[in-house]
C-alpha cells in the first residue's frame, strides 16, 4: 500500500510518498530533507498527536479550562486519554502550564492547562 503524506515540518509542505508493507515504511520518496523523511516514516509507523481538549472547572470564573498534552501521544490512545481526562475536575486556580494530570496513562506525558483561570 502507498501513502501520500504532506510533511508539516516546515512551510514548504512537501508531498512524501511512502510504500508500506506490514505497517512498515519500505520506500520513501518526495521528501525535501531528512526531517521530512523521518516525519513520514513516523507518521506511517508510529503516528502521534498533541491532544487538546477542555476540563470542567468547579467554583472558578469559567466552566471549562482548556488543556493539552505536554507532548504528542500515540494517535491510537486518544480515546483512552479522553476517558481519563473526562474523570477530572479542576477545583483550584491554575496558571498556564500547570499540570492537571501527571503521567497520563503511564505515557510519561502530562496534561497541562493552556489558560490561566482564577
Ligand atoms: S521534507 Fe523538509 S523541506 Fe519538505 S516540508 Fe518537510 S521539512 Fe520542509
- Count of Cβ atoms closer than 10 Å to residue 34 Cβ: 8
Please report the atom of ligand 1 found closest to the CA of residue 6: 5
pLDDT of amino acid 54:
98
Look at residue 116 in the predicted model and tell me its pLDDT: 96
Which residues does a 6 A CB cutoff place in the pocket of ligand 1? 7, 9-10, 12-14, 31-33, 35-36
Predicted confidence (pLDDT) per residue in 46-104, tens digit: 999 999 999 999 999 999 999 999 999 999 999 999 999 999 999 999 999 999 999 99
pLDDT value of position 45: 96
User: Ligand 1: which of 36, 39, 42 to mutate, most ligand atoms within 8 Å of CB?
Assistant: 36
Taking the domains of the chain in order of start, what are their residue ranges? 2-46, 52-113
In angstroms, the CA 20 to CA 35 distance is 19
Q: What is the pTM of this model?
A: 0.84
Helix ranges (H only) for the chain are 34-45, 78-86
**Whether 18 contacts 40, CB under 8 Å:** yes
CA-CA distance, 37 to 7, in Å (whole number)? Answer: 8
Q: What is the CATH number of domain 52-113?
A: 3.10.530.10
What's the chain's length in residues?
118
Amino acid at each position: 500500500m502507498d501513502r501520500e503524506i504532506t510533511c508539516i515540518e516546515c512551510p514548504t509542505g512537501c508531498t512524501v510518498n511512502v510504500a508500506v508493507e506490514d505497517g512498515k515504511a519500505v520506500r520513501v520518496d518526495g521528501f525535501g530533507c531528512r526531517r521530512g523523511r523521518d516525519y513520514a516514516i513516523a507518521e506511517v509507523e508510529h503516528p502521534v498527536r498533541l491532544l487538546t481538549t477542555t476540563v470542567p472547572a468547579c467554583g472558578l470564573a469559567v466552566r471549562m479550562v482548556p488543556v493539552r498534552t505536554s507532548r504528542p501521544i500515540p494517535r491510537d490512545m486518544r480515546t483512552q486519554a479522553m476517558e481519563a481526562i473526562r474523570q477530572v475536575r479542576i477545583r483550584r486556580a491554575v496558571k498556564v502550564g500547570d499540570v492537571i494530570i501527571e503521567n497520563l496513562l503511564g505515557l510519561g506525558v502530562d496534561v497541562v492547562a493552556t489558560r490561566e483561570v482564577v
